[in-house]
Amino acid sequence: MLTNKTFKRIFLLLAALLVAVLAVGTFVEQRQGGSFAREHVYYSWWFVGLWALLAVLSAVVLVRKQLWRRLPVFMLHVSLLLILAGAFTSFMTSREGVLHLRKGTTADYFYLNPDYRVERLPFTLRLDSFRVDYFPGTQAPADFISMVSVGETNPTEKSVISMNNILSRNGYRFYQTSFDADHDGTILTVKYDPWGIAVTYGGYLMLALSMIWVLLARGEEFRRLLHHPLLRKGSLFVGLLAVLPLQVHAREAIPTISAAKAEKIRSMQVVYNDRVVPLNTLALDFMRKIYGKDTYRGLTAEQVLVGWSMRPDAWKDQPMVKIKNAQLRQALGVEGKYATFAQLFNGKEYKLSNLTAGGPDDQGMMKAVQELDEKVGLIIMATQGQLVTPRPKEAPALSENRVAAELLYNSIPFSKVLFMVCLTLGFLSFFLMTAGILRRRPAVFTGLRLLLVAALLFHAFGYALRWYISGRVPMGNGFETMIFMTLVILLLTALFHSRLPLLLPFGFLLSGFTLLVSWLAQQSPQITPLMPVLNSPLLSSHVSVIMVAYALLAFILLNGLFALVLIVRNRKTHAHQEQIAQLTVLSRLMLYPAVFLLAVGIFLGALWANISWGRYWGWDPKEVWALITLLVYSVAFHSQSIALLRRPAWFHAYLVAAFLMVLMTYFGVNYFLGGMHSYA
């Protein structure tokens, strides 16, 4: 019989081995390809066996520790085992293949992957028609739609299969995958997984309920930490200095319309992104996409857009096409971050053609080429008069009030102003609180509370403006979800910071980080429509929840760095022990919502993937590194089993090091590994 100590060591060793294998697997995929990685790593017998062994050992731990006495925690661990059981069931029993149908033809079979064996269907499917829907006024696909008929022998039941809209029958699910060039044929992915998905979804539901229960249960650690007396005390003061560079570009004589004329046409109503808007909205998005700023050398967005439309011969030599990728700039012979339009051509030869024809293996380079190609396409559309579409007579005109509201919204950089204010006030209030100044100086605390209310009202005003302009609740994309999340964070902070003073800096910092992410997304607006598979509300929820989790983990990082500074400075005198304990309590408290939200975000992504293309986990590098991040941070909950994590220095050092997983997931995958999530 193994002793508890030996058993624990074996378990931790296997868990560390799993994380290492997952990490190495992503680099194997990058070098050898996805098929090789899946065959030799992710779908291999030894990898499945490693997961199974860890699951069995986890179940033994639950029994040894009699964890059913803490029912919320017991349910949480059981839900994870249930998700693994569902994945194993899918691995063993599911079948996947391809069905190719031509218009008017029927089929009662499909070809299994990967050996193309024939699998019979218990019904017949006929393709009645196929079409591609386009966004209004563009050749950008909005959806791919197969009209089919289904029946046991004579197909008569009409159904529609499109992106994010599957056909499910008798346990078989059909997903729109591709189509024939003549639009008379469709290619469908067929998935049969009647048991694994049900078990996995049951695990997801149990996980969500158990996480909520852990946060609410009176006897669990989160509630005890929430009421910990150390959270109301102060400690050491540390100053913070931020220097913001300011650059001013002198205006040059570039051919365009006058500022007065630009002011007159900014209210002109045009069709953009499937709605009627003032020209100012389109012009600003054009500028942000191409140049990354709202003005160019003193010229407004309208002046730049009209200048490109009227005199492309003069504007082609202006360095305003932003290229962020240094490797791409070097390949094009561009110095600095901005290229001229002329630099992208050798006479009539388009330089990017040479970079795309061979299909670069570097995913980061390929993404940069695609982004630059999109910018070039937008400029060409502007020079050919295809970017601006005046409002058709049959389209209802915007009221003067709505035009004025949109111009006002465009003129105030709500996200930019507020993320700078919130982050500044967040760091300031955090250090004032840890110094004990807010406790000793109620006037300072009152001032910060008033600034919090002002930030809330300012953000609420911007959100209400966007609601009025769009005519719907602003929750339709990732940016809108993020600003809604910020509104909720500021509101909750305003309501509850009196009871828990540390919510004040936390609320400022979290809202600031969330707005920073939304502002970065706004700097590269989606002028061209999203690919059909990305038009899903689950995608916005998935990204938003994970970004909030990352913001919380970033706060834990700052908290840990501060604690480590105190520990190192006072390692001989052992001073400031109360302050260090306070920071430890705060990190343990924040760890719960951070890790739980990360788990929710990952599984929301799995649901979206399953609805979109029939698999909730595909071992894409970003998926794998998100899982690694979740596993690494989950270890920090087990301080009772891992003695080192009961020491503040080791606890904070571990969480600081763990943030490297976040950086790898969010940035490293994009630049080093690529994959289908490299755009995220």
The tens digit of pLDDT for each residue in 327-377 reads: 888 888 888 889 999 888 887 777 877 665 444 445 567 778 878 888 888
Q: CA nearest 376: which of 391, 355, 361?
A: 355
Tokens of 396: 């209802």
**Whole-number Å distance between alpha carbons of 502 and 490:** 14
Distance CA 164, CA 171 (A): 18
pLDDT higher at 203 or 485:
203
Residue percentage of the chain with pLDDT more than 90: 36
Q: Which residues, at least 6 apart from 88, have a Cβ–Cβ distance to it below 8 Å?
A: 48, 51, 52, 196
Both tokens of residue 62?
């639950």
Whether the upstream peptide bond of residue 114 has omega within 30° of 0, thus cis, is yes
What DSSP character marks residue 39? I
For residue 22, pLDDT over 90 is answered with: yes
Which residue stretches of 65-195 are H helix?
71-93
pLDDT of 427 > 90? The answer is no
Residues whose CB is less than 8 angstroms from the CB of residue 87 and which lie 6 or more positions away in sequence, other chains included:
196, 200, 617
CA 595: distance to chain centroid?
16
At residue 323, what are phi and psi to the nearest 5 degrees? -125, 110
465-476 burial code (b ≥16 CB/10 A, e <16): bbeebeeeebee
H or E element at residue 679: none
The predicted pLDDT at position 476 comes to 61
pLDDT in the model for residue 61: 87
Question: What is the pTM (predicted TM-score) of this model?
Answer: 0.70
Q: How far apart are CA 533 and CA 68, in angstroms?
A: 42
The single-letter DSSP state of residue 475 is -
d(CA 56, CA 63) in angstroms, rounded, equals 11
**CA 296 to chain centroid:** 30
β-strand 106-112 against 389-390: which pairing, if any? unpaired
Query: How many CA atoms, within 13 angstroms, populate the side-chain half-sphere of residue 181?
Result: 0
> Which candidate, 613, 456, 436, 441, places its Cα nearest to that of 539?
613
Q: Which amino acid, residue 508?
A: F
pLDDT at 322 over 80: yes
What is the residue type of 474? P
**Can you give the pLDDT at residue 395?**
72
Q: What are phi and psi of 640, to 5 degrees?
A: -65, -30
C-alpha–C-alpha distance, residues 635 and 338, integer Å: 45
Query: Are 303 and 273 in contact, with CB atoms under 8 Å apart?
Result: no
| 3-state SS record for 629-676 | HHHHHHHHHCCCCCHHHHCHHHHHHHHHHHHHHHHHHHHHHHHHHCCC
Token output for 148: 């089919």
Alpha-carbon span 488 to 594, nearest angstrom: 16
Angstrom distance (rounded) from CA 122 to CA 227? 59
Question: Mean pLDDT throughout 422-426?
Answer: 91
Q: How far is the C-alpha of 661 from the C-alpha of 602, rounded, in Å? A: 15
Phi/psi at 272 (5° precision)? -150, 130
Positive or negative: CA dihedral 266, 271, 275, 276: positive
Token couple for 417: 């102003």
Looking at residue 1, its pLDDT comes to 63
* 3-class DSSP state of 16: helix
Question: Which tokens in the block code for residue 560?
Answer: 């840990």
Residue 237 pLDDT more than 90? no
The Cα angle at residue 666 between residues 665 and 668, in degrees rounded to 5: 65
Q: What is the mean pLDDT of the chain?
A: 83
Confidence (pLDDT) at 363: 55
The pLDDT, as a whole number, for residue 477 is 64
SS3 content of the chain, % helix, strand, coil (to 5): 60, 15, 25
Strand partners, 157: 150
Say if residue 290 is exposed, middle or buried (CB neighbours under 10 Å; 0-12, 13-18, 19+). Answer: buried
| 404 confidence band (pLDDT: 50, 70, 90) | very high
List residues bridging with 173 in a β-sheet. Answer: 168, 191
End-to-end CA, the chain: 48
Query: pLDDT digits over 628-644, tens only?
Result: 999 999 999 998 888 89
User: What pLDDT band is residue 52 in, cutting at 50, 70 and 90?
Assistant: very high
